Amino acid sequence: MNDTSEHAFSEGRIPASRLEGRVAFQCAGTDKAKSATRKLIASYGNAELENAKVVVALGGDGCMLETQHRILGLNIPVYGMNCGSVGFLMNEFREDNLLDRLSVAQATTVHPLRMRAHSADGVMHDGLAINEVSLLREARQAAKIQIRVDGKIRLPELICDGVLVSTPAGSTAYNLSAHGPIVPLDSHLLPLTPISAFRPRRWRGALLPGKAEVVFDILERDKRPVAAVADYTEVRDVVRVEVREDRSVALTMLFDPDHGLSERIIAEQFTA
């Protein structure tokens, strides 16, 4: 993700007093998240999205991603509070002093991946991914996928359960579970990681420049169907998938001081 940056929200700081009535809340569907949201709304109100200065998302990382997709184009930062099982992109949940926390929060701006997936019926499907774009086999047989980078065939045939391209922000998610590398936010690198590769058995993936375009062509697609997923967009029976960073889209996440996303990504590399 080129030009991914982390900076003080205070550079354009909005005093806590000016955030009163300008915070919108979004929450996951769990009882815990709903209960927490009701308490916060009772204390701070709930602005309409078009009038909000900040959106507060309550849930897990999935709630953060869903909220970012929901507000695309509104240019509103999102501050997450963890009320779910996974909270890598979230801050600690506390009811008190929310406006003060928002006024001193650190902002991380990220650019998502854009997926263009061509399905067997001739339709082109467009999707954005904050974490990763993944290709996954649909049936019992392994997928066969050809990989091109910037127009050059780099892997004529990958036999696998799947393959993914991750953003730096998403490198600690599915990419890490698939044994891909964690990369810093400002690395300008995109991990390309196989999922249970069978041939070439020793291929562990690659680190690509942030500006690279990756094209996946599905081989033997009638016998070995493949689905493509970009966060919440899933396309079945794809024949070709094109992935690249979309720098025209900027998403902002807010974090408590000293607990920003860059620090979390670094710290994750030193956990057992």
**Residue 87 is assigned to a ligand binding site:** no
211 and 193 Cβ atoms separated by less than 8 Å: no
pTM given for the model? 0.84
Beta bridge partners of 8: 106
Predicted confidence at residue 3, as pLDDT, reads: 46
**Residue 62 is assigned to a ligand binding site:** yes
**Residue 177 is assigned to a ligand binding site:** yes
* CATH 3.40.50.10330 matches 5-111+250-268: yes
Predicted confidence at residue 2, as pLDDT, reads: 41
**Residue 109 is assigned to a ligand binding site:** no
Give me the active site residues, please.
61
**Residue 230 is assigned to a ligand binding site:** no
- Which residue ranges does the chain devote to CATH 3.40.50.10330? 5-111+250-268
Predicted confidence at residue 259, as pLDDT, reads: 75
Tell the CATH superfamily of the 113-245 domain: Probable inorganic polyphosphate/atp-NAD kinase; domain 2 (2.60.200.30)
Estimate to the nearest angstrom the gap between the alpha carbon of 110 and the chain centroid: 9
Could you list the mean pLDDT of each consecutive 10-residue stretch along the chain, which spans 272 residues? 49 75 94 96 94 95 91 92 85 93 91 97 96 96 98 98 95 92 89 96 93 98 97 94 95 87 80 69
Lookup: tokens for 29: 């569907």
Residue 26: partners with Cβ closer than 8 Å, 6 or more residues away = 55, 56, 57, 58, 63, 66, 67, 70
- Which residue ranges does the chain devote to CATH 2.60.200.30? 113-245
What whole-number distance in Å separates Cα of residue 70 and Cα of residue 62?
12
**Residue 176 is assigned to a ligand binding site:** yes
Please report, for residues 44, 85, 223, the alpha-carbon distance to residue 253 in angstroms, rounded to integers and kept in the order given: 20, 19, 42
